[in-house]
Structure 1
Amino acid sequence: MSPEDTEVVELAQALIRCPSRAGIDDYGPVLAVLQDWLGARDLPCRRLYDDTGRPVALLVEVAGGRPGPWWALDACVDTAPYGDEGAWSFPPDCADVVDGWLRGRGAADSKLAAAMFCRITAEVRDQAQDLSGGLAVLLDADEHTGGFGGARAYLADAAAVRPAGVMIGYPGPDEVVVGGRGLWRATIAVHAESGHSGSRRTARGAVSRAARLVRLLEDAELPGAEGEFPLPPKLTVTSCHGGEGFSAVPDRCELGVDIRTTPAFDAGAAEALVHGAAAELDALLPGPRPTVITPIASWPPYRLTENQQPSAALLDAAAREGLTVRAKTAGPSNIGNLLAAEGIPATAGFGVRYEGLHGTDERAYLADLPAVHTIYRQTVLRLLTTGSALPGRGAGLC
């Protein structure tokens, strides 16, 4: 392993030893570890904050010596919870290396990638005067909450240069994620008359009405995969809350529905489907009030075209290193969807092999690090060297 990769591993170990579980730990200490490392190398960085003043990311920026587009690397430094620590065969924050594996929570997702991106920033800074545009590295401390606070703060920061594209450092060496289904989420409140469960005069309760609505939603016909987008839409009822005890007929039941959208079945189609099912329920089993639908979240599907940057450069660099890496459209959403909503193309999901991601005994395979490091470094340098002349730049998102 090269001195540069050894430095990456040592920084990743320091990050793993600093717990940063989403919604549990204070993010300040893990950001301080990064700031100390960057400061010791005279790399400019600053903290980003959410609307409440809570630190949610660290942003590193290196400007080239010539004008051109900026590109961004993104890795999260918050993590999933440990879960049952008794089920782990080693301490979740041990950060040791055993049989070539870096062990501990965040080793795979994504503290090793964060450390590698910091090292790449130092390498880019050494050549900055000969490069076009600039490189931003977003070290996101609010990713695992699902709020994507770091990415949102970056996009909202008036002082940050808007990137032409982003590469997100999730692990896995076989695929580059170049697209994903979107989502439309809502809660649905179903109402009924309350009363005693033993009374002869009590009508059907809200839970029963909600159960019928679940059937209407799940029986709704969705289109298949169409055109260049390889996945069909998907509807899932994810929660059901209503009633208490046994003697009272519930007067309200709330459902949660998650619909994964595609270009052929977008958020408007998802919302229309749910409203149609609710109207059918209210006609079949009238209640005291109409069913109420409250949208919670929505973002679009996306898919980068074959020659679009930065995926084309990343896939080409992997091929030059002798790796067979395929482009993939993911079923789940990721930060790429958030960026797509802003018109920013993004890749995700290329890194080292891993085990136990979000589970027990998380670890990352360090033998993959030299090649992955080289591929990302070469991709960044190519993007910053050729600038806006790269083929495919400006191609649209689905």
Structure 2
Amino acid sequence: MSRFPIDPTSILIDLIRCPSVTPREAGALDALEAALARLGFTVERPTFHEAGAADVENLFARRGSSGPHLVFAGHTDVVPPGEAGAWRFPPFAGEIADGALYGRGAVDMKGGIACFVAAVARIVDADGDLPGQVSLLITGDEEGPAVNGTVKLLDWARARGERFDACVVGEPTNPDAMGDMIKVGRRGSLSATLTVAGRQGHVAYPHLADNPVRGLVTLLDALMAEPLDAGSERFQPSNLEVTTVDVGNPSTNVIPAEAKAGFNIRFNDRWSVASLKAEIERRLAEAARDLRLRPGKDAPVRYDLVWRSPASDAFFTSDAPLTQTLSDAIEAVTGRRPALSTSGGTSDARFIKDHCPVVEFGLVGQTMHMVDECVALADLESLTRIYETFIRGWFRARA
């Protein structure tokens, strides 16, 4: 039996049994550090702070001191499990049944971390060493506000002189089966809160009041009625979605004084954060003069727009050797040539792209964030073999 942690299932069970609901560490980083220490990694655990956000502990581990530098990025924090009684097994028990391992974080994304650690362990077990530098950049703030996580961990590493040549993020990228898809880019993300001011009054005397809901509907219509674009060569169309509308008025006979809405935009490479903000502000300023829903009013809608952080631009990774080496490894293990995609939401790759070329590949994501989140044991073995093949191939290509 190897003295190294070469079995991804055992590693993953240890991680799942830590209830690390964001932003709690709950022992997950302790379990990961123990596995990495057995492999000869130097491990550090910086904690970052920011007013208005929870303190978050993160992990940076490195093995090797020279040669090309490959980094694996991910997160040990998970979303809440919901009603525990709705699960087949307790969400943090790490139970195995019918060829699958159940638990919150099994695919998103403690499973990816377990497979990468096991892959490195197999290489060290077989070869005695790695052909260069390998690091793990692990946060506890990906499922949360992403304030005290990867973005600060990257800055912390750079300040210490760390330089990365390429990164793989272990998010679940496959829609249906292992080998389906690599993420080679992501749309940008931009959020804001829109507040419309009115004048409170009695619903029977609307001329004495100014209903902010009428103004809010007008402004939201201007944001949503005309598509932002029709997509681009590499990306699907941008979309703006209103995520909340709040008036906070318990009475049916009182016109409220204020109405709010929140929205998020996922946008492609036809926009930057700056140009998209300008377009939204232009639409709002123009719509504020539309008085159709406000009979008897002659002043524009009074509103305030607050942009929320973090915002991120769309990006596309054009590092052909990185994507080809990973694609070759996937095909060698699964027999499938993966699609190169920019679909889906955002990930911490949006921060890593500013430091080195980055791609994403992990498990099948069908059960992520769901009750009875689980991963097939066969998929854990496949992903471990893919990572092992990729690591060897990437260093060979860099030699």
After TM superposition, is the score higher than 0.5?
yes
Evaluate the alpha carbon distance shift between residue 358 and residue 200 of structure 1 in structure 2; reply closer, same or farther with a 3 A threshold: closer
**Partner SS for 1:149:** coil
Cα pair distance change 1:97/1:221, threshold 3 Å: closer
* Distance in 2 (alpha carbons) for counterparts of 1:200 and 1:12: 61
Deviation at 1:125, TM superposition (A): 5.3
Tell me, what secondary structure is at the counterpart of 2:58? strand
**Could you tell me which of 350, 374, 378 is aligned with 2:362?**
350
* 2:351 maps to amino acid: L
Residues 346-373 of structure 1: per-residue CA shift (max 9 Å, x gap):
212433x455210111110111223321
Q: TM-score, normalised by structure 1?
A: 0.86
The residue number in structure 2 matching 1:14 is: 14
State the shift of 1:31 in Å.
1.3
Q: Contact 2:4 / 2:121 at 8 angstroms: preserved in 1?
A: no
Deviation by residue 1:138-159 (Cα, 9 ceiling, x = unmatched): 2222111141633123211122
Distance in 1 of aligned mates of 2:339 and 2:322? 14
- Whether the 8 Å CA contact 1:311–1:346 is kept in 2: the answer is no
TM-superposition CA deviations, 1:31-57 (whole Å, max 9, x none): 112222333443211112112593432
2:30 maps to 32
Matched, 1:291 2:290: no
Deviations 1:293-327 (A, max 9, x none): 1111321111223x535322111111222431211
**Which one of 333, 340, 356 corresponds to residue 346 of structure 2?**
333
Contact 1:237 1:258 in 2 (8 A): yes
1:277 & 1:356 partners in 2: Cα distance?
38
Whole-angstrom distance in 1 between the partners of 2:11 and 2:269? 41
Residues 144 and 309 (structure 1 numbering): CA distance in 2 closer, same or farther, change over 3 Å? farther
Determine what percentage of the aligned residue pairs are the same residue.
Answer: 24
From 234, 241, 247, the counterpart of 1:242:
247
Match of 2:228? 222
Which residue identity is paired with 1:233?
Answer: S
Contact 1:16 1:106 in 2 (8 A): yes
Counterpart check, 1:178 vs 2:203: no
What's 2:198 paired with? 192
The residue aligned with 1:365 is 376
- What is the alpha-carbon distance in structure 2 between the residues aligned to residue 309 and residue 257 of structure 1? 38
Q: Who is 2:74 aligned against? A: 75
Contact 2:6 2:118 in 1 (8 A): no
Deviation at 1:169, TM superposition (A): 1.0
Equivalent residue in structure 1 for 2:332, among 283, 300, 320: 320
**Counterpart amino acid of 1:273?**
E
Residues 130 and 82 (structure 1 numbering): CA distance in 2 closer, same or farther, change over 3 Å? closer
Mean CA deviation greater in 375-384 or 355-364: 375-384
RMSD: 2.7
1:231 Cα deviation from its structure 2 partner: 0.9
Q: Cα distance, 1:209 vs. partner?
A: 0.8
- 8 Å contact 2:289–2:301 — kept in the other structure? no
Q: Is the 8 A contact 2:119 2:385 kept in 1?
A: no
CA contact under 8 A between 1:57 and 1:141: conserved in structure 2?
A: yes
Q: State the match for 1:394 in structure 2.
A: none
Structure 2 match to 1:93:
92
* Partner residue, 2:294: none
Do structure 1's residue 377 and structure 2's residue 388 form an aligned pair?
yes
TM-score by length of 2: 0.86
Q: 2:115: which partner in 1? A: 116
Deviation for aligned residue 1:265: 2.8
Counterpart contact for 1:193–1:288, Cα < 8 Å = no
Shift of 1:124: 5.3
Structure 2 match to 1:279: 285
**SS in structure 1 opposite 2:108?**
helix
User: 1:131 corresponds to which residue?
Assistant: 131
1:15-43 deviations in whole A, cap 9, x for unaligned?
A: 111111114xx315221122223334432
What's the CA shift for 1:128?
A: 7.8
Gap regions ≥5 residues in structure 2:
292-297
Matches within 5 A, 1:299-314: 299-305=312-318, 307-314=319-326
Tell me the distance in 1 between the aligned counterparts of 2:366 and 2:245. 33
- The Cα of 1:9 is off from its aligned counterpart by 1.1
Alpha-carbon distance in 1 for matches of 2:99, 2:58: 30
SS, match of residue 189 in structure 1:
strand
Aligned residue for 1:201, secondary structure, equals helix
1:117·1:137 contact (CA, 8 Å) conserved in 2? no
Partner SS for 2:49 = coil
Secondary structure of the residue that 1:311 maps to in structure 2?
helix
Deviation at 1:210, TM superposition (A): 0.3
**How far apart are 1:72 and its partner, in Å?**
0.9
Q: Specify whether residues 162 and 260 from structure 1 end up closer, same or farther in structure 2 by C-alpha distance, changes over 3 A only.
A: same
2-structure distance, mates of 1:123, 1:6: 6
Q: What's the offset of the Cα at 1:13?
A: 0.6
Superposition deviation, residue 62 in structure 1 = 1.2
- Specify the SS of the correspondent of 2:226: coil
Taking the aligned partners of 1:45 and 1:188, their CA distance within structure 2 comes to: 44
Q: Residues 233 and 354 of structure 1: is their aligned pair in 2 closer, same or farther, counting only changes over 3 Å?
A: closer
Q: What's the counterpart of residue 164 of structure 1?
A: 165
Q: 2:241 is matched by which residue type in structure 1?
A: T
**Deviation for aligned residue 1:136:** 0.9
User: What amino acid sits opposite 2:22 in the alignment?
Assistant: A
Q: After superposition, give the CA deviation of every residue in 1:110-138 in whole Å (9 maximum; x if it has no partner).
A: 11221222233444556586724x21112
